[in-house]
Each structure stands twice: as structure tokens, then as C-alpha cells.
Amino acid sequence: MAQSGYKVELGERRFGRINWLGMQTLAQREIKRFWVVWTQTLMAPMVTAALFLLIFNIAIGPSRGDVMGVPFLHFLAPGILTMTVIQNAFANTSSSIVISKVQGNIVDTLMPPLSGVELLLGYLAGAVVRGLFVASGIGIGLMLVLGLVPAHPLVALAFVVLGAVFLGGVGIIAGVFADKFDQMAAITNFIVTPLAFLSGTFYSVAALPPVLQGLSRVNPVFYLIDGVRFGVIGTSDSSPMLGALVCLGACGAVCALAWWMLRTGYRLKN
């Protein structure tokens, strides 16, 4: 049809090269999803992190010597912070997609004129913002209770964002594959949680046998935790530069797969 002197073809994008409005709307939806239930999505993870620290302090804190030259709780805190951030970033994207699939309204996300990149960025925005809120709350608590001030705050922030992007992307992939909540729970229990727990969250990988050290060093989550630990206490098991490169590569690979799934509608348009 003719419109203002030019012809608009059916299906033609009318929002320029990037649909900023649509992408912003999706991002706002993802943020509001967790914000309206903040006691469950923000407060609960902070309480869980505090309980981890309290239990470890009561159980082995007084009898445990310094680790990496710092008190045990100071060593432990960055690992728990990172673990909490990545678990919540994963939960934000995966739950959004699975709930939409179960309720049958995933079409409301696929029908608007949003490209695969715009869908990806919209979903990841929610994961990153939720991760940053959780990290900020735990970080403030660590400063008030333990007097733990980050040695390299920008480094810690960069690895927190990388962690939220990486697990947010993994959450998109998991949400696309899962058709039911029990499938999503299986992915969380048998993949995400072991990756977080066995990546140096509670220990230094230098204390592991060589074989287990090698396995740990092929796990991107190890570099996320190690990078945040360096940012907070100023020391780590590996080079922060190497960790940043590994995490960037892992984020790129995961986001590329998630983008392809969203662009093609893989397991979403059935």
C-alpha cells in the first residue's frame, strides 16, 4: 500500500536498523518479572548467601587458617557472591522462557518485529540487572559485616557482568530445550549447581590433585569465581587476564547459540 509517497512491503521492518523500542520493552518486562516478587528473587538469594557464610563460619571458620593470605571468610565471600549471581541470572532467563512455553504465550514474544539479537539482548538485560542487584546487596552486606572492601572494584564488576551474561545465555538455551518445569529443575540440579559448587566456590583449586585442577580449569565458571575473588581480595588461582579471555569466549559461544535459537524459533514455534 502507498503511504506518504513510498511503498511499504508486507513484513518490512519499520523501526530502523535496530528496534530500540521493542528491545527496551522486552528488557523492561524481564526486569519487572523479578522486581514485582523481589522478596523471592532478590531478598531470598541474599539471605541464602548470608546463611552460607554463617554456617561455614560456625562449622570451620574458627579452626581454619588463612587461605591465599586472607581470613577464610574473606576468601569464601567472593565465591558465594558469584555463585548466587550466576544462579539467579540463569533462573531469570530460563524461567521466563519456560513459563511462556508452558502457558502457551511464547508467541507474544516471537510475533513482535524483534530480531534474534534484539530478543537475546532483551532477555540478557533482565539477567544482568537481577545479577547486579543481588551482587550489590551481598557486597554491601560484606562491607558492613566483614569490613571487606573490594581491592579492584571494576574488575569484580566486570566478572559479575560476565557471569550474568554467561549464565543468562545458558538459561536461554536451557529454557528453549525444556518443555516442563521438572526438565528445567533437572538442568538446574545436575548441570548448573555442580558447575557452581565445583568451581572453587568454597576452596582454592591449588589444593586439589592435578587431575581435578585440570578439570576445574576447563570450566568457565571457575574463571568467573576466580575473577571476582581477585577483584574483591586482590589474589586468585589464575591470571585475571586469562580468566577474562576465557569468560569472553564462553559468553560469545553461548550467546551465539542462544541467538540462533531465538532467530530460528528452534523448539519455540512448534
Instruction: List, for residues 162-208, the tens digit of each pLDDT value.
Output: 999 999 999 999 999 999 999 999 999 999 998 888 888 888 888 88
Alpha-carbon distance of 162 to 199, in angstroms, equals 16
Percentage with pLDDT > 70 across the chain:
93
Alpha-carbon distance of 111 to 107, in angstroms, equals 6
Band of residue 269 on the pLDDT scale cut at 50, 70, 90: confident
What pLDDT, on a 0 to 100 scale, did the predictor assign at position 208? 85
User: Per the structure block, which three cell numbers stand in for 47?
Assistant: 539471605
Cβ 224 vs Cβ 159: under 8 Å = yes
Alpha-carbon distance of 254 to 176, in angstroms, equals 13
Mean pLDDT of 204-230: 91
Mean pLDDT of 136-145: 95
Mean pLDDT of 105-123: 93
What pLDDT, on a 0 to 100 scale, did the predictor assign at position 15? 66
What pLDDT, on a 0 to 100 scale, did the predictor assign at position 192? 92
pTM more than 0.85: yes
At which residue does the C-alpha cell 541464602 appear?
Answer: 48
| Three-class secondary structure of residue 60 per DSSP | coil
Percentage with pLDDT > 90 across the chain:
73
